[in-house]
Amino acid sequence: MELEGFVEAGSQEAALLKQIDKDRLPKHVAVIMDGNGRWAGMRRLPRVAGHRAGIESVREIVESSARLGVQVLTLYAFSVENWKRPRSEVRTLMELLKEYLRLELDSLHKNNIRFRAIGRIQELEEPIRKQLYEAMRITEGNSGLLLNVALNYSGRAELVDTFNRLLAEVKQNGHTPSISEELISRFLYTSGIPDPDLLIRTSGEMRISNFLLWQIAYSEIYITPTYWPDFRRKHLLEAVLEYQQRERRYGGI
């Protein structure tokens, strides 16, 4: 694994890495990045300080996932429901997104990472849309880690959009196909991508928050009490190791 030589010899990360079976890595890891506000509150800082601190976790987890050999990483960055937050907080989140793309796009491209935004991107403001589409265009030929960032996303909204796209195709073609799981999956935002093997949620909350409702049917769920701004490479390795210690039955015995 490329992480060897990247983690410090004799460190806790190195010890965790030795226990991980490189042949049984999760192909797709999805993350509900939660706890920024509480992290800031514990330090008597404004909530936006938590969001800004969380950017460093994004950098480290993206880089670590790529080096580890994960094929797809999906980060839940902004939900449809997040528009209910104070306008100033929403504005800050959008500015942080633009800042991340401006500062990290070259690094993503150089590290062969493909960037993709999923969700109702068309509803975002034009400057943000332009940056997102540009990032996707620049990195579309890369063959390493696929980084999905879920923006203006909800699992129910995705299913509504999926069935609307399916209905539009039916009207265009003039015939009704037999509905199957494979057909529905073809119209999801994540079409062509394997479903998450591992879903990580930070901050200790026991809920899935309307995230990838169709895709996580058989995902292994890992809950950590660690707030997102404190989530680092060590925590990712702990989650992967826990995943490898489970037996996935997919409804069987």
The token duo for 205 is 């909350």
**How many CA atoms lie less than 13 Å away from 183 in the CB half-sphere?**
11
Phi first, then psi, for residue 198 (nearest 5°) are -135, 125
Please give the Cα distance from 64 to 68 (Å, whole number): 6
Please give the Cα distance from 180 to 187 (Å, whole number): 12
CA-CA distances (angstroms) from residue 76 to 26, 30, 98, 202, 253? 18, 8, 16, 11, 32
Catalytic residue among 21, 23, 36, 82: 82
195 counts as catalytic? no
Place of tokens 């849309």: 129
Place of tokens 């890495």: 17
111 counts as catalytic? no
Catalytic residue among 34, 148, 152, 195: 34
Q: Which residues are catalytic?
A: 34, 82
